[in-house]
Copies of this chain bind each other. A is one copy, B any other.
Amino acid sequence: MARLSSNWLRVIEWLDVGEAFSREVKRIYFMEKTDFQSIAVLEVLPHGKVLIIDGKTQSALVDEWIYHEALVHPAMISHPEPRKVLILGGGEGATLREVLKHKTVKKVTMVDIDEKMIEIARKYLYEWHQGAFDDNRVNVVIEDGRRFLGESHSKYDVIIVDLTDPLKDSSSMHLYTKEFYELIYNALKDDGIFVTQSTQIALSVDVYAVIHSTISSIFPISRLYHTFVPSFLLDWSFNIGSKKYDPIALSGEEIDSRIRERIAGDLKFYDSETHKHMFSMPKHVRRALNSTKKISTDSEPIYLPI
């Protein structure tokens, strides 16, 4: 009976047409629809605590540090002195946590559309934010990220975009377009740098390449990088758009010395060798990047089929 009872509830997540994975649910911490999304915090086998939004695993405690360190540190380390940072999305607070590790940072503005998401993170995801919301350098703004950019006149050193995937007909679909990246460009200082998660690197879908191409159309420096995230079962990509600093121009020594000088505490994932790993792309991925000229626009936005 124990055997059976341990296997009767499962999460199913579609990865591609015809392809899904499933995991055993051990515990439900929270599950509810907000005005913007359906949010669940569960414990699953084999990954432990996970955050699932609209049926898609956003991060798992067991490896959220891979995703969040990969998202935050390459852009932050590439900048010689990031003082003012803007985060769009990132409701769990883990992106914020990683940004705050940089001693150079004086002020972080975090904009999330869903106040309820922040509440849920505060209540159920302490392991993610580790109190970051209460750091006095932080200002949390509840607003639509795109509208915030449109109305704000601040200029940032670093902007980090940590949003859900551009699924068809989802609200995120217009946060991966040329017009959106122009707003980002304008909100950056003259030597500013930005990074966005840019979806999985799949053989069948070129969304990551279109995001790369779109960012390349706005920023002089556009760099795709990637790493495997075990709980996603996917090779995940990120894309830096930069006005001045090029992440691949940094030497390994420079990366490691910046980490040593600047970061309070230990990183589990990122260092110079990880940087080299992430910024080296297999030949077929480079070929796909080179052959993709398509640009995502508000009128014809790129989206994921599933």
Residues on A facing B (Cβ under 8 Å) = 1-2, 4-25, 27-28, 31, 38, 40, 44-47, 52, 54-56, 62-63, 66, 167-170, 201-204, 227-228, 230, 233-235, 267-271, 273-274, 276-277, 280-284, 286, 306
Contacts and interface: CB of A to CB of B under 8 A. Distances in A.
A269 B284 contact: yes
Contacts of A10: 9-12, 22
A283 B63 CA distance: 13
A140 to B, nearest CB: 25
Total copies of the chain: 4
Given A280-B273, A280-B280, A4 B268 contact: no
Contact of A167 (B1, B55, B167): B1
B306 A283 contact: no
A170 B1 contact: yes
A203 B280 CA distance: 22
Nearest to A39: B5
A63 to B, nearest CB: 6
Given A7-B12, A46-B204, A204-B46, A1 B54 contact: yes
A274 B269 CA distance: 20
Contacts of A306: 4
B54 A5 contact: yes
Given A23-B18, A227-B282, A8 B55 contact: yes
